[in-house]
Amino acid sequence: MLTPRLPNVASVLMVLGTLLVTQGCGQLAYRLDRRAPEQFIPNPLELPPLEDQFVWSQVVDTVDDYFRISREQPVQNSSNYLLDGRLETSYRVGASVLEPWRKDSTAGFEALQSTLQSIRRKATVIVRPRGAAYTVEVIVQKDLEDTDRTQYATETTATRRHDGTVIRQVSGAGDSPQTLGWISLGRDTSLEQRILRDIFQRVTEQDARRSHL
């Protein structure tokens, strides 16, 4: 597998300082919080009765903190039309332990694994109308990169594999391992829990503020 992607320490300190100055201590603490919720959150999660556009905007804003959104179909919930909302993201290589401003790797094992190996993730979020209320389901797929050799292996890339396929060395790329594909590691439930918690907090807190206006 590929070796760890270790960012420059000076760059890390500079980014942290910028976040502290521009966003304040409270916002910085939120951005650096990569822990999974201590209590289990149901998946799918039930949301209270609210306007469909409001619910969808909160879902989009939440997921955008973790991944780049590639496709979305907003939820529709009216007396004349019902349509499930669906959001899909692009794959993103997992954040290392030295990238605390990124939230796509939860603290602990997931962040450590993303540091030592090449891990990628993508998310799919489905919002379904249930009367005036909603259910939101979050699915995070995690994959491990499969390479022909490790970063600093001494063997050549022109060796014969067990299945009879010859891996030919590409000119100019002799020192880099070649990606053979990605191996599915199933779902990242800890990140699913984090995203669900953030969606629920956004929806309920924003709704409370709206009701007091």
Read off the pLDDT of residues 80-110 as tens digits, 9 standing for 90 and up: 899 999 999 999 999 999 999 999 999 899 9
* Residue 196 in this model has a pLDDT that exceeds 80: yes
Q: Is residue 114 classed as helix, strand or coil in its secondary structure?
A: helix
Q: How high is the mean pLDDT of the chain? A: 80
| Predicted structure pTM score | 0.71
Q: Is residue 28 classed as helix, strand or coil in its secondary structure?
A: helix
Q: Which residue has the tokens 């292996």?
A: 153
Percent of the chain whose predicted confidence (pLDDT) is above 90: 58
Nearest to 58 by CA among 162, 211, 181, 207: 207
| In contact, 77 and 132? CB cutoff 8 Å | yes
Which tokens in the block code for residue 139?
A: 């699915």
* Residue 46 in this model has a pLDDT that exceeds 50: yes
Nearest to 187 by CA among 137, 142, 126, 136: 142
Nearest to 177 by CA among 153, 195, 199: 153
